[in-house]
Amino acid sequence: MSEAAGGPRTGTAQAPAELLKNPGFEGEHTGTAPGWRPNSWGTPAPKARFSPDGEEAHGGQRAQRFQVDAEPGRVHLTQAHRFTGGRTYRASIWVKAVSPVSVTLQMRSDDFKKDFYQAFAVHTTRAGTGWQQIEATGTAPHDMSGSFRIFLGGTGTVLVDDASLTEVSSSGTPDLLPAEGPVPADYFGMHMLCRGCYGNSWPSIGFGLWRMWDNGVRWRDLEPRKGKWNFKMMNYFMKSAADNDVSVLYTLGSPPSWAASNQKAGAYGPGSAAMPKDIEDWRRYVREVATRYKGRIQMYEMWNEPDYAKFWNGTPAQLAELTRVAAEEIGKADPAAKIVSPGITTNGLNWLDAYFAAGAGKHVDVVGSHIYFGLRPEGVLPRIRNVRKIMKAHGLGGLPLRVTEGAPMGRTSVSGPAEGAASRALALFWAYGVSGFDWYTWDRHGDQVLDLAEPDNRTPSRVGRAYARTVGWLRGARMTGHTVDGAGTHVVTLARSGGYTAQMVWNERAVTTFKVPSGWRVERWAPLTGKPRTSSPTVVNVGGKPVFMESGIRP
């Protein structure tokens, strides 16, 4: 917590300023307290009532009574606030239920067109019949008109009192750090949509893990009819992975129509986004895959983007149950394999919070998230922070966080910025404490995609070559430092055994002249897209494409 300007001279930190109007729900009213308002929507209309309560206040003279008799997810108690991008906020509320019911506290954008009402902090807990405090902390990804929100997860009545919204830090030094050990091969993950459709030339860009999704090996591909299995394609893919010494992350899900509990349209056909109608069919599918590929699949992801209805139309609690069953079967068949929580989208914090609140955290080893971004990967830090806050709130702060799908997005014609964005992303996700980054994809092309491959899907593009060079810089090295100066120059420091050190330097804002510290004792340096040079420069020009400087090079 930073000390506010004008604080006491004694050196004690001044408490952050309260940002809510009427946080204690005081004042004369018959519905919602002054400064607060209900927000409801949809048909049929939610049935909710708001009234003051002067008998059981937590503090002060009154509490706010919030009663919901129908459609609880579509009525919120809110207060508007303008959030500043890059700032971290803490929200809290005291709550007491007439009968136990889940209560969610949320901070979100109220701009549908720009953000789809994106939440950046959320926490759900089961409120009991005694007063308890709920807290949520998150970083606003950009300046936004938003709100502080409270809502129930079921019908019932709660009292709320003594709310608070404070700014607990400003933008500045990242608070997430890389792992202490060397960058592993499986940090560099990749998707391949059509491996085998374009010959036997394995992509020569240095990735160490293959996330198998969108490549024809979903549940509905493997078992199109009950009990009739077809593993021909997956066997081929698994052999390719083994022959090229890469790990495998397999994403479970997408049931065949016969196994689905409903036939609603999904991304991969009717029923593909549904909860299985018989959980034993799910159990048998997981057991079959885990047994067949024991020791060959290192990680199992529990679903793809379940906060998006095209991929999952069940509830977080239902997928928590599928996770429990899958963890049982995988644990029996292949105890060394890791369980990864479903990869959520940018708008998935609410979903992830509810999934963990339903008990799923007990069954996962890694938390998954999908993060796409523009040509400035430096902007991903708030999103990583906010997933980490959800993890910590549910006691999962010690687990690894893996980006199981993501990539920079931008026009392929912008070759220089695209190359730099790819390289910087690989360095920054590790610097921000992410355990793996699974690029989507090697063989995808389009106006807003940074193509790693040329149209032949074999030859690395300029961006693909930049990816490969950065893998060579990072893989097996320990990241011992990451600094950013006021001009926007990043320095990532790397070390290897035998006294080797290196610095990866770039400036995210402009090309600038960088004075090389004499203590670095540079022996060799290389631009991202040029040939290495054996020399000891005193100054180099740095911009969006990193420059790499080494010392302690072995003969």
**The 3-state secondary structure of 62-128, one letter per residue:** CEEEEEEEECHHHEEEEEEEEECCCCEEEEEEEEEECCCEEEEEEEEECCHHHHCCCEEEEEEEEEC
Report the C-alpha gap between 82 and 101 in whole angstroms: 30
Predicted confidence at residue 4, as pLDDT, reads: 33
Q: Is residue 538 classed exposed, middle or buried when 0-12, 13-18 and 19+ CB atoms within 10 A define those classes?
A: exposed
Give the mean pLDDT of 198-213.
88
**Averaged pLDDT score across all residues of the chain:** 93
pLDDT digits (tens, 9 = 90+) for 283-325: 999 999 999 999 999 999 999 999 999 999 999 999 999 999 9
What pLDDT is attached to residue 479?
97
Q: Are 150 and 160 in contact (CB under 8 A)?
A: yes
**Topology, domain 480-551:** Immunoglobulin-like (2.60.40)
Q: What is the chain's percent helix, strand, coil content, to nearest 5?
A: 25, 35, 45
- Is the confidence at residue 413, as pLDDT, over 60? no
The phi and psi torsions of 302 (rounded to 5 degrees) equal: -80, -10
Count of beta carbons in the 10 Å neighbourhood of residue 306: 27
Region 523-539: what's the mean pLDDT?
93
CA pseudo-torsion sign 187, 191, 195, 200 = negative
* CB contact at 8 A, 465 and 513: no
Whether the predicted pLDDT of 6 surpasses 50:
no
Residues of the chain with CATH 2.60.120.260: 37-169
Per-residue confidence (pLDDT) for residue 3, from 0 to 100:
30
Secondary structure of 149-202 in HEC code, one letter for each residue: EEEECCCEEEEEEEEEEEEEECCCCCCCCCCCCCECHHHEEECCCCCCECECCC
Indicate the fold that domain 37-169 takes in CATH.
Jelly Rolls (2.60.120)
Picking from 85-99, 347-361, 404-418, 425-439, which range would have the lowest pLDDT averaged per residue? 404-418
Instruction: Give the integer Cα–Cα distance in Å for 338 and 209.
Output: 14
Q: In the predicted model, is pLDDT for residue 167 greater than 50? A: yes
Amino acid 379 reads G
Nearest to 72 by CA among 35, 36, 97, 107: 97
pLDDT for the residue 445 = 85
Burial class of residue 165, CB neighbours in 10 A (0-12, 13-18, 19+): buried
Could you read off the pLDDT of 434-486 as tens digits, one per residue? 999 999 999 988 767 788 999 888 899 999 999 999 999 999 999 999 999 98
pLDDT at 70 over 60: yes
| CATH 2.60.40 domain extents, the chain | 480-551
Indicate the pLDDT class of residue 198, thresholds 50, 70 and 90: low
Helix (H, G, I), strand (E, B) or coil at 220: helix
CATH superfamily, domain at 185-476:
Glycosidases (3.20.20.80)
User: Model's pTM, two decimal places?
Assistant: 0.92
Ranges in the chain annotated CATH 3.20.20.80: 185-476
